[in-house]
């Protein structure tokens, strides 16, 4: 109780399986007394996946640190320091800052997250806020937080084994869990994967939804994974 959860959700359709997983998380965590915020869909239009130079959602003042040559990392870092990021971004950063747990809920697209969610990562997790390269140990600034990647796939579980076409599902988790979240200092809980909800029976779908509810009930007792290369590739 009292824990703050931010669910970063990326799916267009509330009636989708992802929509059902989102609904369950909001209901169950609220029941536990957590304060649950969610984001992405309401700010979707302000988060186009690309990040062009003349992007008013990123740098509303149009002020550039170095107008001669655009460097995304430098410009966002400098804008962060002088309070020049757009209001939307500052709000997203505040939500992240306040959260004890970040849940990412999305369908797997091209062995990765949907571009809209990746765009959120690219924009919100700027240097100075999420990490600081001038600090030792990688400089992750989002300490004392947990994250959980909850996603659905088109392929079934057999396809995501080491010998099969897709390879181990952990390979696709490496960039997201380790490359982004661990890099930023966030501890990673076991992912939650619902395989092929479109292709299984209605009964199996209900089972998967019940399993999510059950997991959430004891979530706060879980230990983070040992997020090292071994977890992914051994």
Q: How far is the CB of 76 from ligand FAD (least distance, A)?
A: 27
Binding site for ligand FAD (CB under 6 A): 11, 16-18, 20, 107-111, 152-155, 197-198, 202, 205-206, 209
The three-class DSSP label of residue 9 is: strand
Q: How far is the CB of 116 from ligand FAD (least distance, A)?
A: 11
Q: How far is the CB of 231 from Zn ion (least distance, A)?
A: 7
* Beta bridge mates, 9: 105
For position 187 contacting Zn ion by CB under 5 A, the verdict is no
Stretch that binds Zn ion, among 16-24, 42-50, 154-162, 175-183 (CB under 5 A): 175-183
For position 145 contacting Zn ion by CB under 5 A, the verdict is no
Task: Output 89 or 121, the one with its CB closest to ligand FAD.
Answer: 121
Structure tokens at 58: 């990123």
Task: Output 99 or 184, the one with its CB closest to Zn ion.
Answer: 184
Would you call 165 exposed, middle or buried from its count of C-beta atoms within 10 A (0-12, 13-18, 19+)? exposed
At CA 222, angle to CA 167 and CA 144, rounded to 5? 100
Block residue for tokens 């990765």? 112
* Range 191-220, binding Zn ion (CB under 5 A): none
Measure the CA–CA gap between 104 and 93, rounded to whole angstroms.
Answer: 15
Alpha carbon of 222 to those of 110, 160, 177, 191, 229: distances in Å?
29, 24, 16, 12, 21
Structure tokens at 118: 């990746």
- H or E element at residue 19: helix 17-31
Taking CB under 5 A as the criterion, the residue among 182, 187, 192, 215 binding Zn ion is: 182
Task: Output 4 or 205, the one with its CB closest to ligand FAD.
Answer: 205
Q: How far is the CB of 234 from ligand FAD (least distance, A)?
A: 23
Alpha carbon of 2 to those of 114, 192, 217: distances in Å?
31, 23, 15
For position 118 contacting Zn ion by CB under 5 A, the verdict is no
- Report what 198 binds from Zn ion, ligand FAD, none; CB cut-off 5-8 Å by kind: ligand FAD
Binding site for Zn ion (CB under 5 A): 178, 182, 227
């Amino acid at each position: 109780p009292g824990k703050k959860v931010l669910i970063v959700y990326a799916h267009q359709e509330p009636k989708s399986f992802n929509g059902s997983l989102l609904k369950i998380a909001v209901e169950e965590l609220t029941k536990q007394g957590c304060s649950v915020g969610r984001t992405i869909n309401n700010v979707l239009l302000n988060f186009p996946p690309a990040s062009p130079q003349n992007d008013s959602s990123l740098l509303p003042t149009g002020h550039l640190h170095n107008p001669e040559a655009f460097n995304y990392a430098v410009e966002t870092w400098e804008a962060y320091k002088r309070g020049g990021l757009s209001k939307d971004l500052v709000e997203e950063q505040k939500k992240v800052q306040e959260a004890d747990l970040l849940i990412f809920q999305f369908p797997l697209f091209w062995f990765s997250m949907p571009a809209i969610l990746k765009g959120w990562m690219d924009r919100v997790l700027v240097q100075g806020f999420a990490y600081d390269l001038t600090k030792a140990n990688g400089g992750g600034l989002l300490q004392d937080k947990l994250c959980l990647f909850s996603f659905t796939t088109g392929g079934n579980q057999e396809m995501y084994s080491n010998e099969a076409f897709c390879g181990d599902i952990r390979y696709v988790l490496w960039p997201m869990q380790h490359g982004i979240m661990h890099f930023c200092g966030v501890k990673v809980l076991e992912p939650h994967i619902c395989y092929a909800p479109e292709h299984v029976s209605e009964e199996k779908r209900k089972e998967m939804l019940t399993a999510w509810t059950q997991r959430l009930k004891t979530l706060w007792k879980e230990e983070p994974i040992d997020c090292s290369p071994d977890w992914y590739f051994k």
